[in-house]
């Protein structure tokens, strides 16, 4: 059977996928579902062969990957990878990856930090070993330090440590920031099961510099410093023919900052997995609690998530489909429980004679918002923010993916969704230019595409883009949401000595409003040109230099917070 073609568009992130609410809330949202059925029919009619479901949602957050997708999907200020796969024997059937923050997209305007060449494109540059260290600095007194250590591959154990520090503190500048992360994880492998444990710690510091247009040093200017410590433990028993599978897990997170905001979150998960000829049934049941405090007020929210799935696959005709339900009970403080029910379906069909597949599906349901999640995703909020969960009434999508030639891959997708209580970032009416959240019902129709190809063995090229059409119910516009985003990059390996990477990341025009003020604040579009050069010295040591915003634009991702201009960083890295 041919290996399935890689997905390039993440469905969980391909739609305005911000987490889901029980504010005001009412019954089952069945009426809402019926109103949106037309969208499902239209979407599935585009690709009749694509009928059933997609990524499983468990409602279980391990604390290191935020399961809230707050749009817009902002262009990164730094793009840093510190998560190689845990080394393991190729014959090991348990596929466990160390994945603290896959690609960590920070929305603060700091230098673009690209991962070491080889970590994100192993087909182009494979000189990096699992262990590595990287240090560097830049023209804004930026400092970078990374360390990743892992044991040698074996069939029984995998453990590793990853730490990272990234900061900028230029003299007489107030746009200084600091980010620190540490992850310690380990896994124990058995015949068809594994135990995985992970500890994490993160600290982030930002200044509210929007109102200071001179960017002069001012130690009295307010800072926001957040800490989060997390723990995750999972047991996974893989299903085999006539032998059921089972998994169980526990997670805990403790977050606090210097603005008197705090949050604790814990949860437990259990899952099942049964495999039959051409049919597989699986699913998760999770119970979680989020308790947060701000402005001397405490909110306590319990969640129960159940996501049963049934999957059908037929390798002979290239058909694969999954169907199921997303069920959530949300209990907030002393309010009555609110129940949410959404259908889930995804299907794909191989096109005969072509290395392509058509696919499509529907999804929806409740997801969780919290102080901790918003502190990471909207860094310039202040000491009190509105927090409601967001309910995705329905989303539908359809597309085609595959290969045109052996050296090229593509994905084209069309879809849409409707979100109740979707958070939108607006500008507060205060003296520091902090951001606040407002909520509205937002619908979106989108078109997205991604293409990647290679020319020979040394050149890799990729391009992706997305066009959104947002409509709002009460707000004038979908604030801070871009109507188009795009990214183009190319990497070239010259005689296994030099690695050149050139890229452009951009967004179209966006709008913002100030509470009690201007309702038509314009944020112009931008194209951030970045370049990186690596020089390899004797295989395991290399020198690197990179530049971002090479055309020296002044643009904003968050209203009032101007980006750094031309930024240069360089350093040395080594693997061993």
Containing 41, the helix (H) or strand (E) segment is: helix 37-46
d(CA 122, CA 102): 15
Convert the pLDDT of each residue in 181-230 to its tens digit: 999 988 888 888 889 999 999 999 888 877 655 445 455 557 899 999 99
Question: Rounded to whole angstroms, how far apart are CA atoms 56 and 345?
Answer: 10
The C-alpha angle 357, 362, 365, rounded to 5 degrees, equals: 145
Average pLDDT of the residues in 488-514? 91
**Is the predicted pLDDT of residue 446 greater than 60, yes or no?**
yes
CB-based contact 79:532 (threshold 8 Å): no
Residue 313 Cα to chain centre, angstroms? 28
Residues with Cβ < 8 Å from 457, sequence gap 6 or more?
493
Segment 519-538 shows an average pLDDT of 88
pLDDT, position 221 = 59
Specify the range with the lowest mean pLDDT, choosing from 80-94, 178-192, 350-364, 497-511: 80-94
pLDDT in tens, 46-56: 333 333 233 33
pLDDT tens-place string over residues 110-148 = 233 333 332 333 344 444 456 888 899 888 778 888 888
**Residue 176 pLDDT:** 78
The owner of tokens 């991702």 is: 557
What is the Cα gyration radius of the chain?
24
Tokens of 21: 């609410």
Greater confidence (498 vs 221) lies with: 498
Model confidence at 173, pLDDT cuts 50, 70, 90, reads low
CA torsion, ordered 18, 22, 23, 25, to nearest 10 deg: 130
Task: Please report the pLDDT score of residue 77 as a whole number.
Answer: 28
Highest mean pLDDT among 27-41, 124-138, 362-376: 362-376
Distance CA 69, CA 77 (A): 17
Beta bridge partners of 312: 279, 321
Walk me through the domains of the chain, giving residue ranges and CATH numbers: 11-575 (2.40.170.20)
Please report the pLDDT score of residue 211 as a whole number.
66
Q: Say whether pLDDT at 103 is over 80.
A: no
Alpha helices in 447-566 (DSSP H): none
pLDDT at position 416 is 94
pLDDT at residue 352, rounded to an integer: 86
Give CA–CA dist 195/14, Å, rounded: 32
Q: Are 558 and 526 contacting, i.e. CB atoms less than 8 angstroms apart?
A: no
- DSSP designation for 549: S
**Lookup result for tokens 């437990």:** 268
* DSSP line for 97-119: ---SSSSEEE-S-----PPPTTT
Residues counted in the chain: 576
CA distance 178 to 224: 10
Q: Which of 17, 5, 1 is nearest to 377 (CA)?
A: 17
Q: How many helical (H) and strand (E) elements, i.e. helices and strands, does the chain have? A: 4, 28
Q: Tell me, what's the pLDDT at 151?
A: 79
Is residue 27 very low, low, confident or very high in pLDDT (cuts 50, 70, 90)?
A: very low
Spell out where 277-407 has E strands: 279-294, 297-314, 319-332, 338-350, 356-367, 390-402
Residue 415: pLDDT above 60? Answer: yes
CB contact at 8 A, 344 and 323: yes
Is the pLDDT assigned to residue 310 strictly greater than 90?
A: yes
Which of 443 and 213 is assigned the larger pLDDT? 443
Q: Of 265, 229, 267, 263, nearest to 248 (Cα)?
A: 267
- Count Cβ neighbours within 10 Å for each residue of 440-459 and write b for 16 or more, e otherwise: bbbbbbbbbbbbbbbeeeee
How far is Cα 372 from Cα 68, in angstroms, rounded to an integer?
Answer: 10
pLDDT at 363: 94
**Higher-confidence position of 269 and 79:** 269
How does residue 5 score in pLDDT terms, banded at 50, 70 and 90?
very low
What are 25's two structure tokens?
A: 């809330």
Task: Tell me the pLDDT of the chain averaged across its residues.
Answer: 76
pLDDT number for residue 160: 84
What average pLDDT does the segment 11-40 reach? 37
For tokens 């009460």, what's the residue? 474
Q: What percent of the chain has pLDDT over 70?
A: 74
Q: At residue 32, what are phi and psi to the nearest 5 degrees?
A: -60, -45
Confidence of residue 161 (pLDDT cuts 50, 70, 90): confident
Please state which of the ranges 167-181, 210-224, 544-558 shows the lowest mean pLDDT.
210-224
Residue 439, pLDDT above cutoff 60: yes
User: Highest mean pLDDT range out of 165-174, 212-221, 339-348, 377-386?
Assistant: 339-348
Percent of the chain scored above 90 by pLDDT?
A: 41
- Whether 525 contacts 558, CB under 8 Å: no
């Amino acid at each position: 059977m041919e290996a399935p073609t890689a997905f390039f568009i993440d469905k969980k992130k391909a739609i305005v996928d911000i987490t889901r609410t029980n504010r005001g809330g009412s019954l089952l949202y069945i009426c809402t579902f019926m109103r949106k059925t037309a969208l499902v029919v239209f979407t599935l009619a585009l690709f009749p062969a694509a009928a059933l479901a997609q990524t499983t949602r468990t409602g279980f957050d391990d604390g290191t990957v935020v399961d809230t997708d707050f749009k817009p999907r902002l262009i990164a200020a730094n793009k840093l990878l510190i998560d190689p796969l845990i080394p393991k024997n190729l014959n090991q059937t348990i596929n466990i990856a160390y994945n603290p923050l896959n690609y960590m997209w920070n929305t603060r305007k700091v230098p673009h930090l690209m991962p070491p060449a080889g970590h994100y494109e192993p087909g182009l540059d494979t000189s990096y070993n699992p262990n590595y260290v990287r240090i560097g600095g830049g023209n804004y007194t930026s400092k970078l330090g990374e360390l990743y250590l892992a044991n040698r591959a074996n069939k029984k154990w995998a453990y590793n440590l990853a730490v990272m520090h990234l900061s900028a503190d230029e003299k007489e500048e107030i746009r200084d920031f600091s980010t620190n992360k540490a992850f310690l994880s380990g896994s124990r492998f058995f015949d068809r099961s594994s135990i995985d444990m992970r500890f994490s710690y993160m600290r982030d510091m930002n200044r509210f510099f929007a109102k200071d247009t001179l960017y002069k040093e001012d130690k009295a200017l307010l800072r926001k410093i957040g800490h989060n410590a997390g723990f995750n433990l999972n047991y996974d028993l893989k299903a085999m023919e006539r032998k059921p599978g089972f998994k169980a897990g526990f997670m805990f997170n403790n977050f606090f900052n210097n603005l008197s905001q705090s949050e604790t979150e814990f949860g437990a998960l259990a899952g099942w997995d049964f495999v039959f000829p051409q049919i597989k049934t699986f699913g998760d049941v999770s119970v979680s609690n989020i308790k947060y405090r701000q402005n001397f007020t405490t909110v306590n929210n319990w969640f129960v998530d159940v996501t049963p799935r049934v999957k059908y696959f037929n390798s002979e005709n290239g058909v694969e489909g999954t169907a199921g339900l997303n069920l959530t009970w949300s209990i907030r403080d002393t309010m009555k429980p609110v129940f949410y029910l959404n259908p889930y379906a995804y299907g794909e069909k191989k096109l005969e004679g072509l290395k392509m597949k058509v696919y499509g599906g529907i999804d929806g349901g409740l997801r969780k918002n919290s102080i901790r999640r918003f502190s990471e995703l909207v860094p310039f909020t202040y000491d009190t923010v509105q927090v409601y969960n967001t309910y995705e009434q329905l989303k539908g999508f359809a597309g085609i993916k595959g290969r045109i030639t052996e050296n090229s891959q593509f994905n084209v997708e069309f879809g849409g969704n409707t979100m109740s209580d979707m958070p939108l970032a607006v500008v507060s009416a205060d003296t520091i230019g902090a951001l606040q959240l407002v909520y509205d019902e937002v619908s979106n129709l989108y078109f997205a595409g991604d293409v990647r190809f290679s020319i020979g063995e040394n050149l890799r090229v990729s391009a992706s883009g997305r066009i959104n059409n947002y409509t709002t119910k009460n707000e004038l516009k979908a604030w801070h949401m871009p109507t188009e985003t795009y990214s183009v990059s190319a990497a070239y390996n010259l005689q296994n000595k030099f690695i050149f990477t050139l890229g452009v990341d951009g967004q179209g025009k966006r709008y913002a409003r100030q509470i009690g003020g201007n309702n038509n604040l314009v944020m112009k579009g931008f194209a951030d040109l970045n370049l990186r050069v690596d020089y390899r010295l004797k295989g395991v040591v290399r020198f690197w230099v990179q530049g971002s915003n090479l055309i020296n634009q002044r643009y904003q991702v968050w209203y009032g917070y101007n980006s750094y201009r031309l930024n240069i960083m360089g350093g040395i890295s080594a693997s061993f």
